[in-house]
Amino acid sequence: MTRKRCFQKGSLFKRGTRTKVWVARWWEPVIGPDNLPGRIRRSEVLGPVTEIATKREAMQMLDDLLRKVNSSDFRPQAIWTLRSFVEDRWKPEIFPTLKFSSKKFYENMIDAHLNPAFGDTQLRLITKDAVQCFLNAKARSGLSWKTVKHVRTAFGTIIEAAVKDDFMADNPIRRTRLPRRSPVEEKTPIELETVKELIEKLPEPSHSIATLLAMTGLRIGELLALRWQDIDLQKGLLSVNQTVYEGHFDEPKTKHSKRRIPLGPQCVEILAALKRAEATPSTLVFSARNGSPLSRRNLLNRQLKPAAKTLKLTGVNWHWFRHAHATLLDSTGAPIGTTQALLGHSSSDITRGTYIHSVPADARQAVEEVEKLFGTSGKLIGPKWTQVPEWPEMGSSLIN
């Protein structure tokens, strides 16, 4: 059934005392918070009378404004505010489909950046120019370029949902540009000796964690979520079944991240040294006194960053060791498909369809070649202490 439309001409009047201006006014169809159609009164200043000399000229400008509203293709926009749309529509529909870490990301972007600036703004009034000024201001405030990019991404995702729900005609975020990226501190190149030197500098448990990350390419969340039931020391295999973020366990990042990884002799030795006699299959490999997972953030700030600073290394975090593993795999001549499968990437059909099944032989050879690069001497083999309860000076400070 075709919706009845009412062609309108709008109205014009002059406003002001010293400087008179032409003001256009018209009714615009909208969608209310109750999802029912309605109308709101719109007005816009066309310009000063000194520049728009005649009413005829002003009427032509008004006609240009109304051409879109009078078009049969015009879609009424919502008068929902960004805040009400996010809380009443977007979160209830989208959040149940997201992982915990993704929810935390969006909540931070919304609460810290989007709501303070646009929370009370109606969706239809969010313009490209307003968003561009917002992004530029964020960059000037001292936020990193990467953070500004995350803000823009989150904003664009939310507005795109509003467009799909027919609450907006288009997505103005897509037409914005990120501010110019300022020079960033150059990261320390990944070299074998640098990796070994950093690992040897770390106290437990970061010493064992960093060693395993560098030798297996696991993500930090995957490693901290490992339970003894995921590890077969006899066969030298490790299964990635979960990840953990701020104490919340979840499925791995993608379906291809749920994988089996062969362990070289050194990794087997490290893990064997970590295993306690009282450990059960469901016990975490790395755990706090009360059995809860360790906090990657606390370990980073209290152990990894101080060690990296001592060695004057820049850009080092837990993911740095995953990059190091990929670099070392490449240096051993491992096939790209094997590397993608070991890291749990899903970037090619070869990885998804072929190497997932043919990984064991190639992968075992690849990880053992990486271990050979580290050598068999020094402090890289086995931890002195294995769990948080053995470190009274750290106590429960490493718990999420």
Q: How confident is the model at residue 330 (pLDDT cuts 50, 70, 90)?
A: confident
Tokens 């400008």, residue located? 61
One-letter amino acid identity for 351?
T
Question: pLDDT for 16-65, tens place per residue?
Answer: 888 889 888 888 777 666 667 777 777 788 888 888 888 888 888 888 87
Phi then psi for 313, rounded to 5 degrees? -100, 140
Spatial distance between the Cα atoms of 82 and 315, rounded to a whole number of angstroms: 36
Question: pLDDT for 338-363, tens place per residue?
Answer: 777 787 876 544 333 332 333 345 56
Please state whether 296 falls in left (phi above 0), alpha (psi between -120 and 50) or beta: alpha
Instruction: Give the residue with greater pLDDT, 324 vs 78.
Output: 324
Domains and CATH numbers, the chain: 11-74 (no CATH), 82-175 (1.10.150.130), 192-390 (1.10.443.10)
Q: Is the pTM of this model over 0.75?
A: no
Question: pLDDT for 215-228, tens place per residue?
Answer: 999 999 999 999 99
Average pLDDT, integer, range 66-94: 81
- Strands, DSSP E only, in the chain? 11-15, 21-31, 37-48, 77-78, 231-232, 237-239, 243-245, 248-250, 260-262
Spatial distance between the Cα atoms of 211 and 208, rounded to a whole number of angstroms: 5
| 21-31/77-78 β-pairing | parallel
Spatial distance between the Cα atoms of 302 and 286, rounded to a whole number of angstroms: 16
Q: Average model confidence (pLDDT) for the chain?
A: 83
Between the alpha carbon of residue 32 and those of residues 6, 29, 76, 86, 118, the distances in Å are 19, 10, 10, 15, 18
**Can you give the pLDDT at residue 208?**
95
Question: pLDDT for 179-212, tens place per residue?
Answer: 888 776 677 778 888 999 999 999 999 999 999 9
Spatial distance between the Cα atoms of 168 and 164, rounded to a whole number of angstroms: 8
Q: How confident is the model at residue 69 (pLDDT cuts 50, 70, 90)?
A: confident
**Can you give the pLDDT at residue 181?**
83
Phi then psi for 391, rounded to 5 degrees? -115, 85
Cis ω for the linkage preceding 189 (within 30 of 0): no
* Buried residues in 324-347 as b, exposed as e (16+ CB within 10 A): bbbbbbeeeebeebbbbbbbbbee
- Strands, DSSP E only, in 176-259? 231-232, 237-239, 243-245, 248-250
**Can you give the pLDDT at residue 355?**
27
Question: pLDDT for 101-118, tens place per residue?
Answer: 999 999 999 999 999 999
108 token code pair:
């931070």
**Can you give the pLDDT at residue 378?**
42
Phi then psi for 236, rounded to 5 degrees? 70, 50
